Amino acid sequence: MFDTHVNLHGDAFDEDLELVLTRAKTAGVTRLLAICDRMDHLPAIVKMAEAHENMWCSAGVHPHHAKDFIHLTSEELGQAATLEPVVAIGETGLDLYYNYSDIKAQIQNLITHISAARATGLPIILHCRSADQLMGDILEEEMQKGAFKLLLHCYTGGIDLAKRALKLGAYFSVSGILSFKNGANVREVIAQLPPKRILLETDCPYLSPMPHRGKRNEPAFLPFVCQAYAKLMGMEADTVAQVTEANALALFHKVKPS
């Protein structure tokens, strides 16, 4: 399995990262994509990815931190994309739930990342919370300027944005939320999306799936996400693992297939 969204560079894994990675391998998680949330964190994330076989990373600025990187350019992101471990642009997007950065900064940040994704050919990893209409509008407008590949990660949005994004060729990743008792709305939307457009993620250390909810999440818990999606779709877990891994390798084309 391919865990397409891990946050391993923070304090949560400072003391036991190697044990965490060993447990992941034992659980059948053979590929990991470490996500960059701030460009000043990129050097450490790249170093971590370079030090571990079967780990890759992204380059970007989370919308929470957009206010801190107002002068970020698509050229800077493009330069980062030339680094061997960097296989994606982001995580970027829109978050109108927390509003840690003002909306103008978030939109500017998002469009800068889209420009870099378009120029480099790397997929863009998108965070979207409480911003479905605006996200759909921006993606459709930007796609008219030139194609780019996109992933709506940890998708919890509505069916309207999902349908709009599908028309643009989007992929969607699912997380432990699928297993939550209060995740019925998410399950209802995800069930309507084609499996050929689904990826798996833990988003660790957040969103631990059942039966580990409330604990620190880690990549070794990805099989529980796989099982939750398999149950939702009436598929075998082994089939889900194969399909979602193939989807991830198609999207993240810089990742070696073996």
pLDDT number for residue 256: 81
Q: In 51-158, at which residue ranges do the beta strands (DSSP E only) sit?
A: 55-59, 86-95, 124-129, 150-152
Interatomic CA distance for residues 156 and 185, integer angstroms: 8
Q: What is the pLDDT of residues 97-125, one digit of tens each?
A: 999 999 999 999 999 999 999 999 999 99
> What is the band of 55 on the pLDDT scale with cuts at 50, 70, 90?
very high
The closest alpha carbon to 138, from 161, 111, 115, 176, belongs to 111
Helices 222-233 & 237-251 angle (0-180, nearest 10) = 110
Domain annotation for the chain: domains and CATH numbers: 2-208+239-251 (3.20.20.140)
Contact predicate 84/256, CB 8 Å: no
Contact predicate 60/92, CB 8 Å: yes
Q: What is the pLDDT of residues 123-162, one digit of tens each?
A: 999 999 999 999 999 999 999 999 999 999 999 999 999 9
* pTM exceeds cut of 0.85: yes
Interatomic CA distance for residues 4 and 89, integer angstroms: 13
